[in-house]
Structure 1
Amino acid sequence: MKCAIDIDAAFYRGYLIDDRNLTPHVALLATLVALWSLVYLVGCFAPVAKPNAEVPAQWSSLAAQRLAP
């Protein structure tokens, strides 16, 4: 004869997440964190402005033209 705790545990066991379902989510999360870290570190070490110019360094030539006097 099962006690009430065993019956409740069997009921809630059906709602547990299967570990195999977490694998794609963990891989996606790890990829996003790695990409964010890479972009963050590149942004930290990228030059903020050209040493002898007033126009900040831009990756896009269109953005640099808009900022040029």
Structure 2
Amino acid sequence: MSQNPNLANLTWRKSTRSGGQGGACVEVADLPDGGVAVRDSKDPDGPKLVFTGPEWLAFIGGVKDGEFDR
């Protein structure tokens, strides 16, 4: 993970596929160092996860490959 990133003034966005989920969404924001921050859209002031660029790409690849499907 990125070391102590500044999470103030980030531009957060939801997936276009998040619509109609009753607020059960996550938002992501790009970090200046190429990393990505993730938060719960229902709790924008709550905890955030921070990934390096390679960690984020690995996560997205796992999602696309069904690695997290139950």
**TM-score bucket (shorter structure):** under 0.3
Q: Give the structure with the higher percent helix.
A: 1
TM-score (norm 2): 0.24
TM-score (norm 1): 0.25
Q: Which structure exhibits the higher relative contact order, with contacts defined as CA atoms closer than 8 Å and separated by 6 or more residues?
A: 2
